[in-house]
Amino acid sequence: MKFGNVQLPELPTISMLEDRSTPKLLMAVGLGWLTIFFIIPVVVLLFESLNFGEGSLLENYSTALSGTYLWTLGRTMAYAFITTVVCLILGYWIAYYIAFKAKRQMLMLGFVLLPLWIAIIIRFFGVSLFFLPTGPVQQVFGTDFGVLFSTSGVIIGLTSALLPFAILPIYNSLQSIDEELVNASKILGATPIRTLWTVIFPLSLSGVVASALFVYILAAGSFLAPAILGGPGDFMMANVIEQSFSYSIPLAAALSVVFTVALLILIGIFNRYANISEVLSDL
Residues 66-105 that bind another protein (CB under 8 A): 90-91, 93-94, 97, 101
> Distance between CA atoms of 169 and 210, rounded to whole angstroms?
6
Identify whether the C-beta of residue 219 lies closer than 8 Å to the C-beta of residue 154.
no
Residues 50, 126, 144, 150: which binds another protein (CB under 8 A)?
A: 126
- Does 265 sit near another protein (CB under 8 A)? no
Cβ(195)–Cβ(186) below 8 Å: yes
224 is a contact residue toward another protein (CB under 8 A): yes
CB of 190 to another protein, least distance (A): 13
Q: CB under 8 A: which stretch of 65-73, 142-150, 175-183, 271-279 binds another protein?
A: 271-279
Q: Write out the H or E segment, with its range, that includes residue 3.
A: strand 2-3
Q: Kindly state whether residue 24 participates in binding another protein, applying the rule CB under 8 A.
A: yes
What amino acid is encoded at 20 in this protein? Answer: R
Residue 253 contacts another protein per CB under 8 A: yes
Judged by CB under 8 A, which of 57, 70, 78, 118 binds another protein? 118
Candidates 60, 72, 123, 148: give the one binding another protein (CB under 8 A): 123
Single-letter code of the amino acid located at 190: A
Residue numbers 168-207 binding another protein by CB under 8 A: 192
Write the single-letter amino acid at 112.
V
Q: How far apart are CA 246 and CA 185, in angstroms?
A: 60
| DSSP state for residue 6 in the 8-state scheme | E
Stretch that binds another protein, among 52-60, 174-182, 199-207, 263-271 (CB under 8 A): 263-271
β-bridge pairing 2-3 and 6-7: antiparallel
Shortest Å distance, C-beta 71 to another protein: 18
